[in-house]
Amino acid sequence: MKRAISLLALAAAVVPALVAQAPKRRVAVLDFDYATVHEYVLDLFGHDEDIGKGIADMLVTDLVRNGAYSVIERKQLDRVLQEQNFQQSGRADPTSAVQLARLLGVDAIIIGSITQFGRDDKKLGLGAVGGGVHVGGIGLGGLGRKTAKAVVNIDARIVSTTTAEILGVATGHGESKRSGTTLIGGVATGAGAVGGGFTMGSSNFGGTIIGEATRAAVDSMVGQLVAVAASMPETKVAIKALVADVAGGEIIINVGTSGGVKVGAEYDVMRPGREVRDPATGRVLRRITTRVGTLKITSADEQSATGTLTGGPAQVGDCVGACPGN
């Protein structure tokens, strides 16, 4: 009996350790599409505020804090978006998103749409005082107008980088606890809003009625997205690369994210030897190789990648993954 209890205790200690050691899936969060609620955004903010970017930034922060995924930096995403001239209209398109994800070297990409953003009665024309006053682009009044709560609804999908398959979905719903005649009223007269315009990046956005609903909607999505992590398959693309530079244990190879290389992935480094040819045709049947070590990728761009080598030493011309031409 004591032995059985000891085995159970050992299993209880080992299983969490194994789970903790499982590699995190690497994801990117694309700015959410908000075409459906565009007129509500204009009515509420008095200008075309990119709420899709604002909500994506909030989600990234929550996912990083949770720790279930490895989330790429916003700067890296913006750089690739600019290089590829990615259009806003492609935000919710899985095909466009997957092409972008492959360049980023991630396992999956999170895309989605904002389907409701505004008053719970869905009325327009109440962002300002009954067709009245805006200060810094913000509707400040609402005297004599019906009060309403703020409601935000978001649909999100996690899309596989390799197959474009939808791996999981999440629905975020947020409703403010407070009501008001204007969903951003009360804070718009502060020093941070007057004159400069009120945005989702304003320090007091979270204190507004619409900010309260937005936070609740994003928070309600996080648990659903995190639940997908455990079942998400690792996507390791076979590569055929060559060592281009060696500096101690750091190696640069001539294939990057456009060829399927991902940060955190590990590849065999092989040294090509003699070729075995068909005596009749002269065709190379196989190339004899010697294993040098294992390369773990630490950074990558579209055309090249850098990693650290275990084993070695390596030399320029060694094969990584498989030898080109094999």
Going along the chain from its start, the domains and CATH numbers come out as 24-229 (3.40.50.10610), 240-321 (2.40.10.410)
pLDDT digits (tens, 9 = 90+) for 272-306: 888 888 889 888 888 888 899 999 999 888 789 99
Angle formed by the axes of helices 94-104 and 74-83, nearest 10°? 110
Instruction: Please name the amino acid found at residue 247.
Output: A
pLDDT of amino acid 282:
85
pLDDT of amino acid 50:
92
Q: Counting beta carbons within 10 angstroms of the beta carbon of residue 175, is it exposed (0 to 12), middle (13 to 18) or buried (19 or more)?
A: middle
The series of mean pLDDT values per 10 residues for the chain, 326 residues long, is: 49 44 78 92 88 93 91 79 66 70 79 91 57 40 64 93 86 89 55 53 85 94 90 75 91 86 86 88 85 91 90 90 75
pLDDT digits (tens, 9 = 90+) for 225-283: 999 888 877 666 778 899 999 998 899 999 987 777 878 888 999 998 888 888 898 88
pLDDT of amino acid 25:
84
Compute the radius of gyration of the chain from its Cα atoms.
Answer: 26
Query: In the structure encoding, which two tokens stand for residue 156, read together?
Result: 């999100």
What's the count of helices (H) and strands (E) in the chain, helices before strands?
6, 13
CA 139 to chain centre: 33
Neighbouring residues of 194: CB distance < 8 A, sequence distance ≥ 6: 135, 136, 188
pLDDT of amino acid 197:
61
